Amino acid sequence: MRKVLMGNHALSYGAMLSRVQVVAAYPITPQTQVVELLSEMCAEKILDAQFIKVESEHSAMAACLGASLAGARTFTATSAQGLALMHELLHWASGGRLPVVLGNINRAMAPGWSIWTDQNDSLSQRDTGWMQFYCGSNQEVLDSVIQAFKVAEKLHIPAMIILDAFSLSHTYEIVDVPDQEKVDKFLPPFQPKFRLTPDEPHAFGGLTSPEHYFELRYKLQKDMEKAPALIEETGQEFEELFGRKLGLVDPYKCDDAEIILVTSGTTGYTARVAVDHFREKGLKVGNLRIRVLRPFPFEKVQSILSHAKKVAVIDRNISYGHHGIFYQEVKSALYGNSSVPVFGYITGLGGRDITLNTFQKIIEETQRNETPPERISWIGVKK
Amino acid sequence: MRKVLMGNHALSYGAMLSRVQVVAAYPITPQTQVVELLSEMCAEKILDAQFIKVESEHSAMAACLGASLAGARTFTATSAQGLALMHELLHWASGGRLPVVLGNINRAMAPGWSIWTDQNDSLSQRDTGWMQFYCGSNQEVLDSVIQAFKVAEKLHIPAMIILDAFSLSHTYEIVDVPDQEKVDKFLPPFQPKFRLTPDEPHAFGGLTSPEHYFELRYKLQKDMEKAPALIEETGQEFEELFGRKLGLVDPYKCDDAEIILVTSGTTGYTARVAVDHFREKGLKVGNLRIRVLRPFPFEKVQSILSHAKKVAVIDRNISYGHHGIFYQEVKSALYGNSSVPVFGYITGLGGRDITLNTFQKIIEETQRNETPPERISWIGVKK
Amino acid sequence: MVEIRFHGRGGQGTVVASKILADAINKEGKFVQAYPEFGVERRGAPVYAFIRIDETPIFDKSRIYSPDHIVVLDPTLIEAIDVTEGLKEKGWIIVNTDKKPEELAFPTKYRVATIDATHIALKHQLGTRATPIVNTAIVGAVVKVLDLARLESVIQAVKEGVPLKPEENAAAAKEAYESVVFHS
Amino acid sequence: MVEIRFHGRGGQGTVVASKILADAINKEGKFVQAYPEFGVERRGAPVYAFIRIDETPIFDKSRIYSPDHIVVLDPTLIEAIDVTEGLKEKGWIIVNTDKKPEELAFPTKYRVATIDATHIALKHQLGTRATPIVNTAIVGAVVKVLDLARLESVIQAVKEGVPLKPEENAAAAKEAYESVVFHS
Amino acid sequence: MKKQQPTKKIIFHSEKEMPLAPYSLGSMLHNRTGAWRNIRPEINLENCIQCGICWKFCPDVAIYIENEYPVVDYTYCKGCGLCAEECPVKCITMVEEEK
Amino acid sequence: MKKQQPTKKIIFHSEKEMPLAPYSLGSMLHNRTGAWRNIRPEINLENCIQCGICWKFCPDVAIYIENEYPVVDYTYCKGCGLCAEECPVKCITMVEEEK
Amino acid sequence: MNHPQKKKQNKMRLTLPLEEYMHSGHLACQGCGATLAMRYVLKALGQRTALCIPACCWSVIDGPFPYSSLDVPIFHCAFETAAISAAGLKAGLEMVGDHETQVVAWAGDGGTFDIGIQALSGVAERNDDIIYVCYDNEAYMNTGIQRSSATPFGAWTTTTPVKHYKNRPKKDIDAILAAHRIPYVATANISYPEDLYRKVLKAKNIKGTRFIHIYAPCPSGWKTRPEDTIKLGKLAVQTCIFPLFEVEEGSTWKINIKPREKKPVEEYLMRQGRFRHLTAEAIALIQEEVDRRWARLLKYEETSPL
Amino acid sequence: MNHPQKKKQNKMRLTLPLEEYMHSGHLACQGCGATLAMRYVLKALGQRTALCIPACCWSVIDGPFPYSSLDVPIFHCAFETAAISAAGLKAGLEMVGDHETQVVAWAGDGGTFDIGIQALSGVAERNDDIIYVCYDNEAYMNTGIQRSSATPFGAWTTTTPVKHYKNRPKKDIDAILAAHRIPYVATANISYPEDLYRKVLKAKNIKGTRFIHIYAPCPSGWKTRPEDTIKLGKLAVQTCIFPLFEVEEGSTWKINIKPREKKPVEEYLMRQGRFRHLTAEAIALIQEEVDRRWARLLKYEETSPL
Ligand SMILES: Cc1ncc(C[n+]2csc(CCOP(=O)(O)OP(=O)(O)O)c2C)c(N)n1
Ligand SMILES: Cc1ncc(C[n+]2csc(CCOP(=O)(O)OP(=O)(O)O)c2C)c(N)n1
Ligand code: SF4
Ligand code: SF4
Ligand code: SF4
Ligand code: SF4
Ligand code: SF4
Ligand code: SF4
Ligand SMILES: [Mg+2]
Ligand SMILES: [Mg+2]
């Protein structure tokens, strides 16, 4: 059914349709509507789940881990400070191989307090062993939750669904809400490969000496390496049932593009407008929206970008003391595979808007230079 | 004075000689001796500091932030889970421009519980806006604390001193403990550029709208970019007084090297033994120990590595769903600057020992192949 | 693509108005995107909402700076802020007021429509004199002036979109649809 | 480079022994590195400590797998575990026991020295019969057998390195230094 | 307390003008919250017994004292109505703002 | 409770033999903590009044009951001495281990 | 202005000092109780005060960068850290030679009862030298009215919809703090500013951890009329829903106001949108619980020192 | 084995069930009280139990991967999360159809009084259906004896050196939990296993959050003789340093053992290395505080229900 939904409600619908069994969450702007709608769904008995209204995000994630270990399908949502407060537990989820799904609304990190979007919160978690799905529309948010559960549970690896504060979380868009029946067909109940039960008493997560730790972590990475193919496959299966496709990346007019923009989140959609705009002007621009950052889609990124004459990576984030994180990731992936000049742009931190004009500057600068004139090019800073 | 000190005590001495004024810390293996010695130094009145014996690492960092904002020189130490629990507050320190110095003992992240070394704990904080100094010896630990305060306070950016669990933290080495007088000369009292006082009442860290946030974060990065030169300068100044030099990187026989190992932490010292070993066999091997990961020493890494025929990056860490973190960082830095084949090796997770034999395998594999045969080469996993 | 900006005050249901309008547009099979101002809302303080409407899917996720039209739920805002900021030439200004369009002193490059939404709201028992709930009436007027959707769609969207008094709200929307004053 | 492994039991001060030895070496102007087993220590359970000694700075931070010599603080460990694991040929095995070297059944490729550290410790009022504190005596013996440092350095290191009874400990170290039984 | 004077907004034209960290540089007095008001308090001083209750309970510090009598500062008064409600002699009336 | 049987250590030759996550696959009975013992309890059953106190207070579950009498399991007894200390008739003696 | 120059020039009878450390222009909603709490507390503490404010309505009320509504310095700290940020700040000030400034943690109920309780408990255990003020509006208001553990039984919030209204009693934070045996615990109420003022002054002159729990109505979150704020505060005391008392050293309990006749809770509840769904049975339950708590408090006082 | 087949074959007189769910080979120190606590609790709860164990000695005692000393499943959880991990686990088990398993959070004093108190307070407020057991060895032992807020006044630890010995009283966690008005709070002691066993059984049959606080001597951390463990436990009760009592619904207090004659605290203190530095004055202070607490407890009982 075509509904007008805010991104936060798309998350809640995704969780509901996935028949999550345990939800534990804590409110934070701009995530609150996710929790509020889920509370209501539980009160209205549309959703048969235990909702633990915890006293912090830290406890939210801890509760999810316990529930997931029991074999229940588990969901939470948060943003920025809340995600950061979960940090230790994020490692716990991946190391413990617990396929929790978490919705994160991208919001800039304090201080100063910000409630506006940028990606530093979720990107600061790139090394925690979670899959990360960056969404560009509310439809994608809903669809991603359902697909993420499928992938996460198969691999026993947790997954994060990420959406921009306000530009998705609070923005109403038309979303096709699929039928429960069809979703059930796509996503059967969680069948964990191990679970905590007195019937088969294991101690989970005990002291692991240098004799064993390495191999267990090797297994985690090896399973992560299975994810790219599985995500693509799952996306195809989803397409067959629902007619919508989601893959690791979302290339737009890249085939013949001379300049390819690399984008993520909603920026990746506005970029399409820019691409069309510049194409009209006769410039062969394309856009590669990276949907999945973890596992990193090496093959896709390499094969698509190496055709370009220039690549411009747009980061709504920064690793202080280094540069934009997508920029770093893309360069690292291309190293040894391609020698296309890769330009790095940082823009939109703390919710500064990214508009057609932003892209205009980026494309012009990329056109103007043979190679990046600076390590970081800042777009939109009042200097 | 030449003393036999464990790495943890070297940290405590570093803090004491820096005349830290507020310490707030929470015990965790393998960091406990740091706190214990500082407790004793306070009890014995060797150190005039307030030691807040907090109830969690989270509070440890929060207390440090408050104290630092008051203008006091502030220190804490932790490891792994403790560092992870501080994560949100780490962002706070950098965004708030509070030059706290933190000693982190590198320990593998749970679950399963590990108390043994790997770098995933500190590297998971690479995007939090802290400077990161990876130490190779106890002498370096002590010296780094003092130098870090100097750099951190000048730039108003916090700094992390990082040492391997057990191989430094609990290992006794000979350390020259400098005279207090000389240290005082090198490191004058903290003169903050701003501080919280009723005499000049500011509200720190209030809501920062998209109109302002971007510029403030731009300033942080710009100051971070001043750090590399400042670190080198500070190292020179230190050398003049104490006769020991520390820079951004520590190259060993790199000038004529055909294969350069890229290492960090204690691995970077064992690597020297390997270099000597292979040099004896006639192989031109060198070692580039990266001491400072944030800010990333782009120039140094580029200029040193681009001379090599091959580069082998050794990671005692992994970003699951990607590859080794130093590997990623180095490739990203070299992209567009060099086309030397860069090999990525992961080894030593969870405290698995890194020995001459490890390097033997790495060097042999690097020799054998023209370019990296796989995205990650695992050394020492029981497959 | 049509872009509209709503001006209201915190507590007046400005965002709900844009959401109901979006619902109505959706019922027409068109594409739509609506969003509130990204900030802190306080009762009484000026607030904004935005809507984009198109025949094809909308990819632009940036904010609206040069709306085609604006809607003003509270006439006192006209004094307090510059409601026409960025408004395109020939754009409609749809104002809740008991005045006629020509009584309002807007530059002539804009077109003006007026609707006494407060009166309509009170008539249908929506809110109190001090705080009438005018948002559904406004939607009716906007749809009519800009010819965005059929009345049935609006009425259905209103009924589904309000927390209380669906019939009264629908009636208010209908009345506004029918009584808005404008010369196109 | 000389590499030594210490075997003891939790609570016996095995690590302290290695630390004191390191202090003594330091006093000699040589380079040294000492570290405990990287694990959980429990009273009574077998524990290890390691030491590397060299004339030049020590860069190798890997663990010691093939020690040049071993030191056994508690003779019952010889039954419980394989103390000679990885020990190099001609390596010294220095054991706290009241037996003579030749009474111990070690392979002949090793050299054996014995010291009745328990007896010495008790004589100097270090610990109780059930738990004598033998570590300082052991250090004295080790230094002598392996010729690592001058007696003065050891005595000074002991005095500075023990939490209690510096004189008694120093005397024990000295006595052991002087009475260790070995044929080199 | 005297009547407060509205201040100017602080505008930074470049990052160089900004402080190192986000800390405040001025008051909120530029923010004329009187614009939020729907209804306005009007004090009939004739009946006022100078008890100070209206002053005491104003959450917006929008009543100041002049010549020993309370005065509403309409620049900031948000029109919450507390003063009128709490005035013991009911000499404050809430009046609708003109639209 | 019967006497416990020591088990074998679990050894993984390759990561493939290991479980997905670090969870336990066996007991700690391979760990013969009797080796930690410095002094050993010896029960003089002649005087034992079968009160079960020694059994009850053993932190190492190293006293089992056979034919209605307590027996020390030296495979695991760490020699803490609690049983001897708490035996109401003092029929347990702590004896030094031979070295 | 029709200033009655004619009337004889009595002095205004003010029960609180004239000095203001909070100024107009702030961003609170109309009729906000939390704002009054700040105004009164600062009147008592004066300018040599430093605040640590975690995420809460007050982090918005004060105004965005580069502004502030207060004349005292503020450290806007992480949500869960009010108490320890204050303790750290205090330690730092001491070490740089400022022994005078009174450091105050200023947090909402969520930041106190829930996410901040650990840091608070730690500070209380160490008896760190700070004043902790919790202004209690009985829910997470800054994020849009979600339940906290201070939300009373029966209340609607967005996470306790009327069909699933809050079914646990309000956490007894005062008893919890009293159990920490800190030198001073007090409840206060914006409708009793003189009592509030006195308590803050008293706290100011004590060393160690002092906890002041201030009842602060929230028209936006409670769905009440802004002009009812003071009335509600009075009703809360008159119904014994929020009694005013002090506890010294965790052992000496003193009730400050004992209503001659306890008003029925219904009078209090029915003025508030958040309680409007309550049935007579639910209200009876609430009355019972209030009576029980009141009886307990009386007993504490009677048997003091405990 | 010199088994006296000759003696007449009386039955052993066992006061606890024979079944063991904890086995030998574990990694506790000699004479460890925490180990006994586990042994007794599992005897009462049986095999259909699941434990959440945060970082603490017990995460080592149980044995490393791939081993465990217990016959019940364990979730080794993050240090600060014992209570909520258990609540999450319980919710998950319920949702997968297991309504029977008793979920237990099992934490040390540090994991309870300090870093875990927030999660515990949250669970208690929601009255989540778990048993929380705190075995109290009065310091962070697993990391090598650092002070916790359970460390008693006067004690040495590595972070409270004798010159700066712990100068704050032990946090009164039982009063804090009682103030949360959970259905059941009890103290217990490994030297009184039958009382402990009874309390756990009682807790097992209650729904909601139940808190059991077990005194558990630690020879390594207290510098006591391993064979003194049981003796110390008894002295703790006989001196009223660690009284045995139960609190129901936060209001009904019952003391289980009232020593006919209170022994002087000195008898208790002087057996422990951690107190050896104490002067007569310090001991007198401790005696005073113990007397005060005991009097308070008697008063609570007397005036029950509170
Ligand atoms: C770690 C973290 N989690 C969540 C939030 C979001 N948050 C900000 S304010 C707030 C509610 C505060 O409630 P309370 O303390 O009662 O203060 P009030 O807003 O009611 O004044 C929340 C949940 C945050 N800032 N940080
Ligand atoms: C976040 C975090 N901080 C610190 C630690 C280190 N740590 C592990 S166990 C422990 C002490 C536990 O003390 P307690 O709860 O009293 O249990 P005990 O060891 O005394 O049995 C500490 C500090 C940790 N694992 N995680
Ligand atoms: S209406 Fe409210 S804001 Fe205005 S003066 Fe009265 S109390 Fe103050
Ligand atoms: S409350 Fe009324 S009587 Fe009192 S000072 Fe104000 S206006 Fe005058
Ligand atoms: S000595 Fe200790 S471990 Fe051995 S049987 Fe007796 S109580 Fe058990
Ligand atoms: S405690 Fe003594 S008397 Fe009792 S059963 Fe054991 S050995 Fe026999
Ligand atoms: S939401 Fe409530 S507490 Fe917050 S500013 Fe508004 S009235 Fe005050
Ligand atoms: S340190 Fe103490 S609590 Fe921990 S295992 Fe040893 S005796 Fe038991
Ligand atoms: Mg609140
Ligand atoms: Mg403990």
CA distance linking residue A375 with residue A75, whole number of Å: 39
Answer yes or no: is pLDDT of E99 > 70. Answer: no
Instruction: Kindly give the interhelix angle for H193-204 and H33-45, rounded to the nearest 10 degrees.
Output: 40
The share of chain G scoring above pLDDT 90, in percent, equals 96
- What confidence tier does G1 reach under pLDDT thresholds 50, 70, 90? very low
CA distance linking residue H225 with residue B380, whole number of Å: 44
**A206 vs D: CB within 8 A:** no
**A33 vs C: CB within 8 A:** no
D contact residues 108-137, partner F, Cβ 8 Å cutoff: 129-131
Instruction: Kindly give the interhelix angle for G117-126 and H117-126, rounded to the nearest 10 degrees.
Output: 120
pLDDT tens string B32-42: 999 999 999 99
Query: What spacing in Å lies between the alpha carbon of G146 and ligand 3's midpoint?
Result: 28
Single-letter amino acid, residue E59: P
Cβ contacts (< 8 Å) between F79 and chain D: which residues? 44
pLDDT tens string H116-146: 999 999 999 999 999 999 999 999 999 999 9
CA distance linking residue D90 with residue D111, whole number of Å: 6
pLDDT tens string G165-175: 999 999 999 99
Query: What spacing in Å lies between the alpha carbon of H281 and ligand 8's midpoint?
Result: 30
The pLDDT assigned to C39 comes to 78
Query: In degrees rounded to 5, what are phi and psi of residue E49?
Result: -105, 15
Q: CB of A46 within 8 A of CB of A175?
A: no
Selecting from E57, E66, E76 the residue whose C-beta is nearest the C-beta of G24 gives E76
Answer yes or no: is pLDDT of H1 > 60. Answer: no
Query: What spacing in Å lies between the alpha carbon of G57 and ligand 1's midpoint?
Result: 8
Answer yes or no: is pLDDT of H252 > 60. Answer: yes
Same domain, A238 and A258: no
Q: Which two tokens mark B332?
A: 């990203």
Closest residue CA from atom 1 of ligand 6: F87
Answer yes or no: is pLDDT of G5 > 70. Answer: no
| Segment B280-301 mean pLDDT | 98
Instruction: Look at chain A and report how many structural domains it folds into.
Output: 2
Ligand 1 pocket member G108 (CB < 6 A): yes
Same domain, B274 and B192: no
| Strand partners for H140 | H146
Selecting from F33, F78, F97 the residue whose C-beta is nearest the C-beta of D76 gives F97
CA distance linking residue D35 with residue E28, whole number of Å: 60
Residue of F nearest to H193 (CA): F56
Q: CB of H151 within 8 A of CB of H170?
A: yes
Ligand 3 pocket member E81 (CB < 6 A): yes
Q: What HEC string does chain G produce? A: CCCCCCCCCCCCCCCCCCCCCECCCCCCCCCCHHHHHHHHHHHHHCCCEEEEECCCHHHHHCCCCCECCECCCEEECCHHHHHHHHHHHHHHHHHCCCCCCEEEEEEEHHHHHHCCHHHHHHHHHHCCCCEEEEEECCCECCCCCECCCCCCCCCCECCECHHHCCCCCCCCHHHHHHHCCCCEEEEEECCCHHHHHHHHHHHHCCCCCEEEEEECCCHHHHCCCHHHHHHHHHHHHHCCCCCCEEEECCCEEEECCCCCCCCCHHHHHCCCHHHCCCCHHHHHHHHHHHHHHHHHHHHHHHCCCC
Which ligand is located closest to the Cα atom of residue F53? 6
Ligand 1 pocket member G118 (CB < 6 A): no
Touching E (3+ Cβ pairs <8 A), the chains are A, B, C, G
Closest residue CA from atom 8 of ligand 3: E58
Nearest to G120 by CA among G88, G150, G81: G81
| Segment A146-163 mean pLDDT | 98
Same domain, A232 and A253: no
DSSP secondary structure letters along A128-181: SS-EEEE-SSHHHHHHHHHHHHHHHHHHT--EEEEEETTTTTT-EEEEE---HH
- Report chain A's mean pLDDT, rounded to a whole number: 98
**B383 vs F: CB within 8 A:** yes
| Segment G14-36 mean pLDDT | 97
CA distance linking residue D93 with residue E19, whole number of Å: 67
Q: CB of H113 within 8 A of CB of H148?
A: yes
Selecting from D44, D46, D80 the residue whose C-beta is nearest the C-beta of F78 gives D44
| Segment C87-103 mean pLDDT | 96
| Segment B367-372 mean pLDDT | 96
Q: Give the distance from residue A349's alpha carbon to the nearest chain H alpha carbon, in angstroms.
A: 33
Predicted complex ipTM: 0.98
Mutate to test the pocket of ligand 3, among E42, E72, E86 (most ligand atoms within 8 A of CB): E72
CA distance linking residue A167 with residue A145, whole number of Å: 18
Residue of H nearest to A90 (CA): H78
Q: Which two tokens mark F57?
A: 């207070």
Answer yes or no: is pLDDT of E96 > 90. Answer: no
Closest residue CA from atom 4 of ligand 8: H57
Mutate to test the pocket of ligand 1, among G51, G133, G143, G146 (most ligand atoms within 8 A of CB): G143
Answer yes or no: is pLDDT of D145 > 80. Answer: yes
Please report the sign of the dihedral spanned by the C-alpha atoms of residue H136, residue H140, residue H145, residue H147.
negative
- What confidence tier does H3 reach under pLDDT thresholds 50, 70, 90? low
pLDDT tens string B227-258: 999 999 999 999 999 999 999 999 999 999 99
pLDDT tens string H48-95: 999 999 999 999 999 999 999 999 999 999 999 999 999 999 999 999
CB atoms within 10 A of CB B154: 17
The pLDDT assigned to H5 comes to 54
Is pTM beyond 0.90? Reply is yes
Same domain, B55 and B7: yes
Determine the straight-line distance between the first and last CA of chain C, rounded to whole angstroms.
19
Domains (ranges, CATH) in chain E?
A: 33-96 (3.30.70.20)
- What confidence tier does C77 reach under pLDDT thresholds 50, 70, 90? very high
| Segment H25-37 mean pLDDT | 97
Tell me, yes or no, whether chains E and F touch by having 3 or more C-beta pairs under 8 A. no
Residue finishing a domain among B222, B242, B262: B242
Nearest to H291 by CA among H269, H257, H265, H253: H265
Secondary structure (3-state) at H16: coil
CA distance linking residue E30 with residue A322, whole number of Å: 39
Residue finishing a domain among A179, A212, A242: A242
Domains (ranges, CATH) in chain C?
A: 2-179 (3.40.920.10)
B contact residues 113-132, partner A, Cβ 8 Å cutoff: 113-116, 120, 123-124, 126-129, 131
Mutate to test the pocket of ligand 1, among G36, G135, G142 (most ligand atoms within 8 A of CB): G142
Single-letter amino acid, residue G64: P
CA distance linking residue H5 with residue F83, whole number of Å: 22
Q: What is the dihedral of CA A270, A273, A274, A280, to 10 degrees?
A: 180
CA distance linking residue G137 with residue H274, whole number of Å: 46
The pLDDT assigned to H46 comes to 98
Rg, C-alpha atoms of chain D: 15
Q: CB of F35 within 8 A of CB of D46?
A: yes
CA distance linking residue B167 with residue D167, whole number of Å: 32
A contact residues 229-258, partner F, Cβ 8 Å cutoff: none
| Segment H217-245 mean pLDDT | 98
Query: What spacing in Å lies between the alpha carbon of F56 and ligand 5's midpoint?
Result: 10
Same domain, B216 and B340: no
Secondary structure (3-state) at A97: coil
Same domain, B76 and B175: yes
What is the DSSP pairing of strand B22-25 with strand B74-79? parallel
Closest residue CA from atom 8 of ligand 6: F48
Same domain, B262 and B314: yes
Tell me, yes or no, whether chains G and C touch by having 3 or more C-beta pairs under 8 A. yes
The pLDDT assigned to F1 comes to 64
Touching G (3+ Cβ pairs <8 A), the chains are A, B, C, E, H
The residue segments making up the domain with residue B352 are 249-379
Domains (ranges, CATH) in chain G?
A: 33-303 (3.40.50.970)
Q: What is the dihedral of CA B15, B18, B22, B25, to 10 degrees?
A: -10
Query: What spacing in Å lies between the alpha carbon of B91 and ligand 8's midpoint?
Result: 37
Residue finishing a domain among B242, B263, B283: B242
| Segment G29-56 mean pLDDT | 98
**G257 vs C: CB within 8 A:** no
CA distance linking residue A367 with residue A311, whole number of Å: 10
CB atoms within 10 A of CB B377: 21
Which ligand is located closest to the Cα atom of residue E55? 4
- Report chain H's mean pLDDT, rounded to a whole number: 96
Same domain, A279 and A228: no
The pLDDT assigned to F99 comes to 58
Q: Give the distance from residue H60's alpha carbon to the nearest chain A alpha carbon, in angstroms.
A: 7
Same domain, A201 and A270: no
Residue ranges of E strands in A226-329: 249-252, 259-263, 285-290, 292-294, 310-315
Single-letter amino acid, residue A294: R
Residue of F nearest to B112 (CA): F22
Same domain, B135 and B159: yes
Atom of ligand 3 nearest to the CA of G227: 2
Answer yes or no: is pLDDT of F49 > 80. Answer: yes
Backbone torsion region of residue E61, taken as left when φ is above 0, otherwise alpha when ψ lies between -120 and 50, otherwise beta: left
pLDDT tens string E66-90: 999 999 999 999 999 999 999 999 9
The full length of chain E comes to 99
pLDDT tens string A35-65: 999 999 999 999 999 999 999 999 999 999 9
| B7: CATH | 3.40.50.970
Q: Which two tokens mark H59?
A: 């995460």
Determine the straight-line distance between the first and last CA of chain G, rounded to whole angstroms.
58
The pLDDT assigned to G8 comes to 60
Which ligand is located closest to the Cα atom of residue E77? 3
CA distance linking residue H277 with residue H157, whole number of Å: 12
- What confidence tier does H177 reach under pLDDT thresholds 50, 70, 90? very high
Please report the sign of the dihedral spanned by the C-alpha atoms of residue B6, residue B9, residue B10, residue B11.
positive
Q: CB of C119 within 8 A of CB of C179?
A: no
The full length of chain C comes to 184
Ligand 3 pocket member E34 (CB < 6 A): no
The pLDDT assigned to C41 comes to 81
Ligand 5 contacts (CB < 6 A) are F 41, 58, 60, 62-63, 72, 77-83
Rg, C-alpha atoms of chain B: 20
- What confidence tier does C131 reach under pLDDT thresholds 50, 70, 90? confident
The full length of chain D comes to 184
Same domain, A173 and A256: no
pLDDT tens string C57-66: 999 999 999 9
Q: CB of F25 within 8 A of CB of H66?
A: yes
pLDDT tens string D1-51: 999 999 999 988 999 999 999 999 999 999 999 999 887 788 889 999 999
Same domain, A48 and A177: yes
- G258: exposed, middle or buried (Cβ count in 10 Å: 0-12, 13-18, 19+): middle
Atom of ligand 8 nearest to the CA of H29: 6
Which ligand is located closest to the Cα atom of residue H13? 6
| A340: CATH | 3.40.50.920
Residue of A nearest to C161 (CA): A4
A contact residues 191-230, partner H, Cβ 8 Å cutoff: 195-198, 200-209, 212
Tell me, yes or no, whether chains D and C touch by having 3 or more C-beta pairs under 8 A. no
Q: CB of B343 within 8 A of CB of B258?
A: no
| Segment G179-187 mean pLDDT | 98
Tell me, yes or no, whether chains H and E touch by having 3 or more C-beta pairs under 8 A. no
pLDDT tens string F71-89: 999 999 999 999 999 999 9
Q: CB of B183 within 8 A of CB of B146?
A: yes
Secondary structure (3-state) at D133: coil
Cis omega (within 30 of 0) for bond into B30: yes
**F35 vs D: CB within 8 A:** yes
- Helix (H) or strand (E) segment spanning residue A6: strand A2-6
Secondary structure (3-state) at C4: strand
Atom of ligand 2 nearest to the CA of H142: 19
Q: CB of H172 within 8 A of CB of G180?
A: yes
Q: Give the distance from residue H60's alpha carbon to the nearest chain D alpha carbon, in angstroms.
A: 8
B contact residues 14-53, partner H, Cβ 8 Å cutoff: 26-29, 32, 35-36, 39-40, 42-44, 53
pLDDT tens string G271-301: 999 999 999 999 999 999 999 999 999 999 9
Buried b (16+ CB within 10 A) or exposed e, B125-146: bbbbbbbbbbbbbbbbbbbbbb
Selecting from B96, B205, B219 the residue whose C-beta is nearest the C-beta of E18 gives B219
